[in-house]
Chain A
Amino acid sequence: MNRRNFLRNTGFVAAGSLFVPAFMKPFEALALDELSLYKNLVVVQLSGGNDGLNTVVPFGNDIYYQKRKSIAIKPQEVIKLNNMQGLNPNMAALQEIYDQGWMTIINDVGYPNPDRSHFRSMDIWQTGSDSNQFLSTGWIGRYLDSNCQTCKFPYTAIEVDDSLSLAMKGQTKKGIALKDPASLFNNTNNPFFKAVLQNDQEHLDEDNLGYLYKTMIETQSSASYIQNTSKIYQSKFTYPSSGFANQLKTVSKFISSGLKTRVYYVSLSGFDTHVNQIGQQGNLLKQYSEGMAAFIKDLKNNNKLEDTLVITFSEFGRRVEQNASSGTDHGTANNMFVFGGRLKKQGIFNDAPNLSDLDSGDLKYQLDFRQVYGTILDKWLDVNNGEILNKKFNTLDFI
């Protein structure tokens, strides 16, 4: 679809309620955020604690080979990025993306007093809390709560999954979870459900029943919007056949059809590799990289890469030294990936992890993950990060 047609089609649907096709309106009347200047954030979660050291391999450091006798990636297999670090060979699909300058690797991201429990550390990452602080809202949820101009609706944040992560739940607003827009739309437009919702004001209180009614009402209006906006767009791009790639394909469809969604959330799980890590992690990294490479190229083809920022995180990295079962145990700091067409610092952002200065066998973090969130909130989502993260974090220069 060329740009002109794309604008026209988007206008037809998004402005449908105005009864005036968008291309007939004066340019000034087009809300800018309905066009491609709309900035998107895509969060990719790797669940289980991905082993960052076998993902971005410090092949230039002997300590890595000493500590990982049976699971280290051999130097000749590593996809070298500089003379210290390189990618796991299963990530070959990302080499082109990296070479184009669409990928940044941030080393050693973590937080003080790291927690090695999956649940707790995932909570910390999803809520953006301190290690000893318990929050019941997620960082994206609080962004929705902040009442910014563009975050009024549940579809401001969409998780392409069966259920909604804590990250997407705010105090008063929540994102929406869906795997397929059409089936959700069908469900919500049943005449009986419309009758159930008619004149229902009395249920909108804070209890469980009120919660059910509120969810139903929001779902109905969001489903209509998402379906009507996205159905005009069909991706021509071929994605690998994995569940993860399918999630990304759905996100691409939403972005390319001009949905007014700002945050998308997808996840890939299975990274808790305590035993026989090599094959298991290799498969997952392959799925991740091939899916991600297709997604980035698809966005590029649709002129959306400039408006999209993708981040990837996992709840923790793993111990530097492997365990006795050719796997790795829960660790601390880990690398994060950033993708996009407008990266300020491309390639490797900061120094490789220092393997000779460990905290009882674990990496010391260089950057707090909330500096990464803070940078995105300030520079990409245009809100003051201190309001979302409960204290101000210094921003970084990757965007």
Chain B
Amino acid sequence: MSAKDNFIKVKHLYNRAGFGISYADLHKLSKKSIEKNVAGLLKEAKDDSISLVSDTESRRQMLVQAGLYAKKDLTDEEKKIRQEITRMQNEVSKDLNIAWIDKLINTTSPLREKMTLFWHGHFACRSNEPLYAQQLNNIQRTHGLGSFKTLLVEVSKSPAMLQYLNNQQNRKGKPNENFARELMELFTLGRGKYTENDIKESARSFTGWMYDKDGAFIFRQNLHDEGTKTFFGKTGNFDGENIIDLILAKPDTAEFISRKVYKFFVNDQPNEVHVKELGDHFYASNYDISALMQKMFTSEWFYAPENVGTKIKSPIEFLVGLSREFYVTYNKPQILIQLQSSLGQYLFNPPNVAGWPGGQNWIDSSSLMLRMRIPSLVLNDGEIDFSGKADPEDEAVIALNKNTAANKNSKPKSYVNANADWSKFLSTFPKGISPTELTSFLLQPKLNDKIIKMVSNNKGLRSTAVEITSMPEYQLV
């Protein structure tokens, strides 16, 4: 294989397994084989938990909340305390979001964070309690490349998920089926692989799986249904872990997870032959996630033309990739929350338990236009016009007027307030790199004549970079 081919392959690998790669690192790493690079990515995937939310403070708040919750009539003072706790929780939730996106941008374990992002969408969950949200995020990070069974059990026992899918209310004689249904429909098997009766019986098996007032998992024996259950044709006094084992015993589960991994890392349109290959390997490895990833990243089809530069970036891949590529610092990181929300992927706030649908669903008229504006806003510390606007009439007039400079002072401004480290960015390239070469590095899709023509007229590398990242082609990875 030629050095140039390996350069392209390694670039693709780091774009999909992580959030991109610098030219200098790529130059170095492309001297090594794909196998070595994959091994390196897996080895570098250190577990580095987020510890932003304080246990003691959160527990203190939860205790106060529980006390107030039990009371019938609250005094004004107590109402104020309750509101204040809610306010603090909202604030800490935002801080947690920023802590994670900061980690995504600065991590030296890109594969681990990419996996965490994958599981974050797979085990989609919302929690108003930031401590629980942080716990679940750390579970997905710690076990994201380990045993899928451990991951599944830990997620199922996490207060965030117990709360979100109402297992806290699932008790003997009064089963709540929410968790049992989503466990099979979305987390393991997919629709059509179980019956309504399997849901009823497994819901009974998960009765008593709860969390206590300190936010720790607890199995409440007295609320657990000890009766006989029939699940997937087998009969016994099953508990939750027995149900999870029976679900994992089905190769359908390995295939379902493999298909989802394939759609996330390879192509929106799954190739069923490749999915089957992955599923068999995953099942045979006893659900070792690293083995699955290793198999996928070293498969020849992973580097086939139809799988390179053809996937629409998720908003997080787009924002994190851009920020890593240009060494961006956000002086007001809250803007990152606003951008996530406007682009349709607000971390810790998936639309529902099915997660973000992905693929072309990321793109609608308005989100596409915003995506293409963001590079100029972030890299040029430009104006942003999707919030804090005054009269819409004025905006339209300004836009119609080609000579915007004259009108600039009359336009209400709100800045992204970010700094790209241009000298660091440019220092990663060899001296004398041409705008066309820079373009072919920044874009994953193959260059066409129109783009080459557009950039060859360009004056400098910096303006080339801003233009290239504002093109539809930059939305693909």
Assembled-state Cα–Cα distance A211/B367 (Å): 13
Contact (Cβ within 8 A) B372 A193: yes
Closest-CB distance, A139 to chain B (whole angstroms): 18
Contact (Cβ within 8 A) A218 B467: no
Q: Is B312 among interface residues, defined by CB-CB distance under 8 A?
A: yes
> Known contacts being A162-B344, A212-B475, is A154 close to B365, with CB within 8 Å?
yes
Contact (Cβ within 8 A) A324 B174: yes
Question: Which chain A residues in 126-166 approach chain B with CB under 8 Å?
Answer: 154, 162-164
Contact (Cβ within 8 A) A176 B365: yes
Contact (Cβ within 8 A) A208 B312: yes
Contact (Cβ within 8 A) B311 A208: yes
Closest-CB distance, B301 to chain A (whole angstroms): 17
Q: Which residues of B contact A120 (CB under 8 A)?
A: 185, 191
> Known contacts being A182-B396, A184-B369, is A215 close to B177, with CB within 8 Å?
no
Q: Which residues of A contact B361 (CB under 8 A)?
A: 163
Closest to A179 in B: B366
One of B169, B365, B398, B448 near A275 (C-beta < 8 A): B169
> Known contacts being A209-B445, A212-B472, is A182 close to B373, with CB within 8 Å?
no
Interface size class, chain A: 35 or more
> Known contacts being A178-B365, A208-B310, A219-B368, is A196 close to B169, with CB within 8 Å?
no
Closest to B354 in A: A119
Assembled-state Cα–Cα distance A86/B270 (Å): 50
Question: Which chain A residues in 199-227 approach chain B with CB under 8 Å?
Answer: 199-200, 202-203, 207-209, 211-213, 215-216, 218-219, 222-223, 227
Closest-CB distance, B144 to chain A (whole angstroms): 24
Closest to B466 in A: A192
Q: Which residues of B contact A179 (CB under 8 A)?
A: 366
Closest to B178 in A: A274
Question: Which chain B residues in 340-357 approach chain A with CB under 8 Å?
Answer: 341-342, 344, 352-354
Q: Which residues of B contact A212 (CB under 8 A)?
A: 312, 363, 368, 472, 475-476
> Known contacts being A192-B467, A216-B368, A222-B365, is A180 close to B352, with CB within 8 Å?
no
> Known contacts being A163-B344, A199-B450, A211-B360, is A177 close to B366, with CB within 8 Å?
yes
Assembled-state Cα–Cα distance A183/B390 (Å): 11
Q: Is B141 among interface residues, defined by CB-CB distance under 8 A?
A: no
Contact (Cβ within 8 A) B178 A213: no
> Known contacts being A199-B450, A200-B450, is A163 close to B360, with CB within 8 Å?
no
Closest-CB distance, A200 to chain B (whole angstroms): 7
Q: Which residues of A contact B471 (CB under 8 A)?
A: 196
Closest to B392 in A: A182
Question: Which chain A residues in 221-237 approach chain B with CB under 8 Å?
Answer: 222-223, 227, 231
Q: Which residues of A contact B372 (CB under 8 A)?
A: 187, 193, 216
Contact (Cβ within 8 A) A329 B177: yes
Q: Is B154 among interface residues, defined by CB-CB distance under 8 A?
A: no
Q: Which residues of A contact B473 (CB under 8 A)?
A: 209
Q: Is B166 among interface residues, defined by CB-CB distance under 8 A?
A: yes
Contact (Cβ within 8 A) B400 A189: yes
Q: Is B28 among interface residues, defined by CB-CB distance under 8 A?
A: no
Assembled-state Cα–Cα distance A231/B392 (Å): 8
One of A178, A191, A203 near B366 (C-beta < 8 A): A178
Question: Which chain B residues in 369-420 approach chain A with CB under 8 Å?
Answer: 369-370, 372-373, 385-386, 389, 392-393, 395-396, 398-400, 402
How does the 8 Å CB contact mask read for A260-284 relative to B, with 1 for contact and 0 for none? 0000000000000011000000000
Q: Is A195 among interface residues, defined by CB-CB distance under 8 A?
A: yes
Question: Which chain B residues in 282-316 approach chain A with CB under 8 Å?
Answer: 310-312
Q: Which residues of B contact A193 (CB under 8 A)?
A: 369, 372, 470
How does the 8 Å CB contact mask read for B448-477 relative to A, with 1 for contact and 0 for none? 101000100000000000010011110110
Assembled-state Cα–Cα distance A37/B86 (Å): 49
Q: Which residues of A contact B395 (CB under 8 A)?
A: 182-183, 185-186
Q: Which residues of B contact A195 (CB under 8 A)?
A: 454
Assembled-state Cα–Cα distance A190/B470 (Å): 11
Q: Is A67 among interface residues, defined by CB-CB distance under 8 A?
A: no
- Please name 14 pairs of A and B residues whose Cβ atoms are closer than 8 Å in the assembled complex, sorted by A: A119-B354, A154-B365, A162-B341, A162-B342, A163-B364, A182-B393, A183-B389, A184-B366, A186-B396, A186-B399, A193-B470, A212-B363, A212-B476, A324-B176
Closest 10 CB pairs between A and B? A182-B392, A187-B369, A219-B365, A212-B472, A324-B174, A325-B169, A186-B399, A164-B364, A182-B395, A177-B364
